[in-house]
Structure 1
């Protein structure tokens, strides 16, 4: 299997310090889940580079410089998952890059293009591959990697997920990641969404994917398109997210949304650039580059 990234021992050390991981450095399921969770809680999701008209680099050295050694920056899905892919390979896991269609709120899977990146991870000695994804960033995102097994509910660090199959045209099985939203949580169940039992909330489709392997050059093209297309949400408004043990924060344009595990949602609108910079600094741990305009 060709390597997707190439990180050296110093890079791995720096990354594990950045996410606060002090556990084992071995290729097993426990390490995979632990590193995955630590990453999601340590490094924020942010699109400040595309917002400034810059295409984020996916070169390993640049990922380490920005997301790891930079200390107070994050990135969006391609940066996060390409970084994690390199780390997992350095630890001895096998990694395949996948693309997915984000279907939150969509009526049909086919209505959305393949613009998201996820990882299929092989654990030595374990017959089951795992789905890993530290770059989705939404309240329905995975917090820990989960086995690629259909119709089984997983509890990952307080969130509930399952993988289901959905019909589609094509020779490969279509997998859909669903997240369970508590009663009272906002959002449309969307494509492949199903209701839970009375009073128990709803299963909401997050994204759909097949196991067709993709390579770094594929993501160079997708990354450029998402960063530069004027119709892309990431090139036109600030979109920053962070998950902690007790809440999920999202800054979508001027709207700051706080979501709690019980489905409680609080939101308010930021009034000016000064407040937006303060919120990114204090709440998200992000140092905003000079010249960045956050609120249009």
Structure 2
């Protein structure tokens, strides 16, 4: 155990029970992959605190109380902060990174650095890994990927790769891309006719936890932020992905079939979050505007 971790043994036990992880508690790749995947499948992505007008706390005790001991989830700063504390408690070295979400962007520089990701290193392993359990989108990582450019990675049914992109800074710019289908899809075309869609861009410059307190407050409270204006809730399932974006509920199945329906009743929306996402909506939060 890392002596400086804010997590005690009881907190770590509670977290591992919450995500259903019963494997070895070692700082190695197998544990990193297993915990990462279990986290993404057990803990939903949700923005109910910003929707209610407040910035969620990133303090370790508050993350444990909300995401682990309650029927709640969180967004990227909460998920990846929680995972970083857990990984440090298990003996990994974790560097906090910021990224620009570039899905649909023509120029990467048009997007601010508002996403949180992790660079994870295990003792005795020279290869660092990109880990991220807080990217609330179907193109998110389900398992960590090695920080290697130009190689395709398969993780829990999803395909990703990291590439370099030109930019003006002194550090290399990394771009996480998700597979977007074969011919006929939109995105960056590969040499074999496969298409890839950029998800976010980042450098390996380390950021500190106070940096994310500022970013978290801005994203949660800025009236122009999508997270403060409409419900955005998603959950990974063993056979697909479920998303509530405002009133629109979208279910994407492993075979590619997509089903959508619009929720029109507040009580129904609360039932959907309870049953489909495992979330107990706090009193005073209105899901449908």
Provide TM-score, normalisation by structure 1: 0.94
Could you tell me how far apart the structure 2 residues matched to 1:53 and 1:44 are? 20
Deviation at 1:108, TM superposition (A): 1.0
**130-139 or 4-13: bigger deviation:** 4-13
Match of 1:101 in 2: 100
Residue 216 (structure 1) aligned with residue 196 (structure 2): no
Shift in CA distance, 26/276, structure 1 to aligned 2, threshold 3 Å: same
Match of 1:168 in 2: 167
Deviation at 1:194, TM superposition (A): 3.0
Deviation at 1:141, TM superposition (A): 0.2
Shift in CA distance, 257/195, structure 1 to aligned 2, threshold 3 Å: farther
Residue 271 (structure 1) aligned with residue 270 (structure 2): no
Residue 245 (structure 1) aligned with residue 238 (structure 2): yes
User: CA RMSD of the aligned region, Å?
Assistant: 1.7
**263-272 or 210-219: bigger deviation:** 263-272
Deviation at 1:291, TM superposition (A): 1.1
Task: Tell me the secondary structure at the aligned position of residue 50 of structure 1.
Answer: helix
Match of 1:68 in 2: 68
Task: Tell me the secondary structure at the aligned position of residue 66 of structure 2.
Answer: helix
Structure 1 portions without partners, runs of 5+? none
Please give the residue correspondences for 1:20-169 in structure 2 after superposition, counting only pairs within 5 Å.
20-70=20-70, 72-169=71-168
Deviation at 1:137, TM superposition (A): 2.0
Residue 281 (structure 1) aligned with residue 238 (structure 2): no
Match of 1:295 in 2: 288
Q: Which runs of 4 or more aligned residues in structure 1 lie more than 6 Å from their structure 2 counterparts after TM superposition?
A: none
Task: Tell me the secondary structure at the aligned position of residue 119 of structure 1.
Answer: strand
Shift in CA distance, 185/144, structure 1 to aligned 2, threshold 3 Å: farther
Deviation at 1:245, TM superposition (A): 1.2
Deviation at 1:260, TM superposition (A): 2.4
Which of 217, 221, 233 in structure 2 is aligned with 1:228? Answer: 221
Give CA deviations for 1:76-101 in whole Å, capped at 9, x if unaligned.
Answer: 00000000000000000000000000
Deviation at 1:123, TM superposition (A): 1.0
Structure 2 portions without partners, runs of 5+? none
Deviation at 1:277, TM superposition (A): 0.6
Could you tell me how far apart the structure 2 residues matched to 1:173 and 1:58 are? 29
Could you tell me how far apart the structure 1 residues matched to 2:204 and 2:82 are? 20
Provide TM-score, normalisation by structure 2: 0.96
Task: Tell me the secondary structure at the aligned position of residue 211 of structure 2.
Answer: helix
Matched residue count: 288
Give CA deviations for 1:173-223 in whole Å, capped at 9, x if unaligned.
Answer: 00000000235998x63xxx335744x5x2110000000000011000000
Give CA deviations for 1:152-178 in whole Å, capped at 9, x if unaligned.
Answer: 100011100000000001100000000
Give CA deviations for 1:42-93 in whole Å, capped at 9, x if unaligned.
Answer: 00000000000111000000000000011x1000000000000000000000
Could you tell me how far apart the structure 2 residues matched to 1:108 and 1:28 are? 37
Task: Tell me the secondary structure at the aligned position of residue 103 of structure 2.
Answer: coil
Could you tell me how far apart the structure 1 residues matched to 2:151 and 2:276 are? 35
Match of 1:19 in 2: 19
